[in-house]
Structure 1
């Protein structure tokens, strides 16, 4: 007889009932955070949007790295005649499960996107700028889903796969803009640093974007295609990898220059700390990049490198927003602490 068998039925029922009540209570809290939002809950939903968009970019890379890119060989169905994985001679159950699982994550991203739209349209006062940024999320998910179908139908053509990842980068940028703007007011932007430093920040964003594009070219040339049937870019892998490394050094140098300029001009501490975090993330990403190169790009390290690229992108965007202010968010809900105008 097990311990569970010895537990009185009433105690088991009470325990399961308490757990059910907790789940229902959490679900109601989650619903009300979007349906009856405060400025703070709007910002939390925006942060969740940043996280899920970064997450699905990484899991999408995991699909490719495990050779599961065509685990579901059709779209929108997983296999011919079935929306869920079914026995298929050309694809293993594991590959099918990985690809189908990534497709299911799209619904999580969509749910968060819808919650963002609901929250920003119901919060008082309604801010048109936030509404526009929030609507980018569900529209972007729809575009990504349709593009994902094109990726499958082109048998993982490296161009379509690369654009698929870059769409995710754009979605992260829109979600982070919603997160940053929801924590500040609607006053005209006011620089918190010297004009030239602010300009350097914008140039750094452009440089990181170029770095990401170079990274997807390296990925599209390298060995992890996602499936044996997938094509590759016809570039020399060593040449594109070296070009990518050169751009990395340019970005790291610009980040160091930004960090130095913020320090010598006694810029706000938040901006300096943000630049220091970005610099640290870039150095960690660089170590992973060089290690994976000399170890013949093992799949695990490539996955970590993709995660690092999303973190570099987010940290870069964060620094830019920390170098300006639009004033405090108003009005504040009763009992809430004032959100710092520049605290992102």
Structure 2
């Protein structure tokens, strides 16, 4: 028992040091934890919906009209209430991680304003997401508010990944490491993936998993929006293959080629899941797995685009503007 307590104490000390005396490496680790946490709560949010627990806590910020905590309430299943309340509790974990990123960025020496700005997006974004979650409940899971709820999480993943990527780089002006046209192709890819995610939430808002029987749906034909979604998937996969081919024939840096190859593999796996769930009449488990795949595709696309440029190694000389910023900080 004493050994376990000593171990826990050492871990606590090490954790506090990564916040109070951070290095670029430890800040990058916190940013990666933030990426994982935001992706995780996106998936658990989908689990709330497919388990019909969207109104498990029918009010906000309270769980029930009379209590912040789950209590017996009318015809609401205790399981549904526990699922929804558990997802609300996860918000505090994501917020704590976001605050950890901010503290680490503020304490990093020399302080970098770009990292501080990116770190501020974490707690602010999580707070905005929590408030929007209240609107989702109060709107009785209106598909527009539910869709925006998901897209805010996608934005937070992008912000935390940007912090992760920038923490390992210098502060020089960005320089492309591939041909200009290939980098343009990368931008087209990230835009196509963003469109794919938007179309995906429209399909979800039209489909059967609304989160609760009282929730409304988009007034679209599910077959039509599913076909549009599939068409955008073909565009994304085609752009990814074209990017991978261009990187290969131009002997681009290995990191960029690996990122594009990994993205293509994730997209193909995601496509298999999408077709299987379609032909199996959209079972709940596969919907949750598909949302997980969507977050991986987004992260993979971000990783690929960031691999197409460089800001130099840490500690590299910067321009006059960056030196002035460092002095002011």
- TM-score tier by shorter-chain length is over 0.9
Q: In 2, distance between residues paired with 1:294 and 1:149?
A: 34
Q: In 1, distance between residues paired with 2:247 and 2:291?
A: 29
Q: Provide Cα deviations, 1:119-169, integer angstroms capped at 9, x if missing partner.
A: 011011000000000000000011000000000000000000000000000
For residue 208 of structure 1, the aligned residue among 193, 196, 205 is 193
The answer to whether residue 147 in structure 2 is matched with residue 149 in structure 1 is no
1:284-299 matched pairs, under 5 angstroms: 284-299=269-284
In structure 2, the residue matched to 1:112 is 97
Q: In 1, distance between residues paired with 2:16 and 2:287?
A: 37
The answer to whether residue 42 in structure 2 is matched with residue 57 in structure 1 is yes
The answer to whether residue 288 in structure 2 is matched with residue 300 in structure 1 is no
Q: Provide Cα deviations, 1:147-197, integer angstroms capped at 9, x if missing partner.
A: 000000000000000000000000000000000000000011111000000
For residue 179 of structure 2, the aligned residue among 194, 198, 205 is 194
> How many angstroms does 1:24 deviate by?
2.2
Q: In 2, distance between residues paired with 1:295 and 1:138?
A: 39
The answer to whether residue 66 in structure 2 is matched with residue 81 in structure 1 is yes
Higher mean C-alpha deviation, range 253-262 or range 17-26: 17-26
The answer to whether residue 260 in structure 2 is matched with residue 248 in structure 1 is no
For residue 221 of structure 2, the aligned residue among 224, 236, 241 is 236
In structure 1, the residue matched to 2:296 is 311
* Segments ≥4 residues shifted beyond 2 Å: none
Q: Provide Cα deviations, 1:202-255, integer angstroms capped at 9, x if missing partner.
A: 111010000000000000000000001100001000100010000000100010
Indicate the structure (1 or 2) with the bigger Cα radius of gyration. 1
> How many angstroms does 1:278 deviate by?
0.4
Q: In 2, distance between residues paired with 1:292 and 1:146?
A: 32
For residue 281 of structure 1, the aligned residue among 248, 266, 280 is 266
| Secondary structure, aligned partner of 2:304 | helix
Q: In 1, distance between residues paired with 2:272 and 2:16?
A: 42
For residue 321 of structure 1, the aligned residue among 278, 288, 306 is 306
> How many angstroms does 1:30 deviate by?
1.1
For residue 224 of structure 1, the aligned residue among 197, 205, 209 is 209
In structure 1, the residue matched to 2:244 is 259
1:89-108 matched pairs, under 5 angstroms: 89-108=74-93
> How many angstroms does 1:21 deviate by?
2.1
Q: In 1, distance between residues paired with 2:246 and 2:64?
A: 56
Higher mean C-alpha deviation, range 26-35 or range 270-279: 26-35
Unaligned runs of 5+ in 2: 317-329
Q: In 2, distance between residues paired with 1:90 and 1:181?
A: 49
Between the two proteins, the alignment pairs up a number of residues equal to 316
The answer to whether residue 8 in structure 2 is matched with residue 20 in structure 1 is no
| Secondary structure, aligned partner of 2:186 | helix
Q: In 1, distance between residues paired with 2:14 and 2:79?
A: 36
Q: In 1, distance between residues paired with 2:170 and 2:74?
A: 57
Q: In 1, distance between residues paired with 2:149 and 2:16?
A: 31
Unaligned runs of 5+ in 1: 1-15, 332-344
| Secondary structure, aligned partner of 1:75 | coil
Q: In 2, distance between residues paired with 1:80 and 1:217?
A: 31
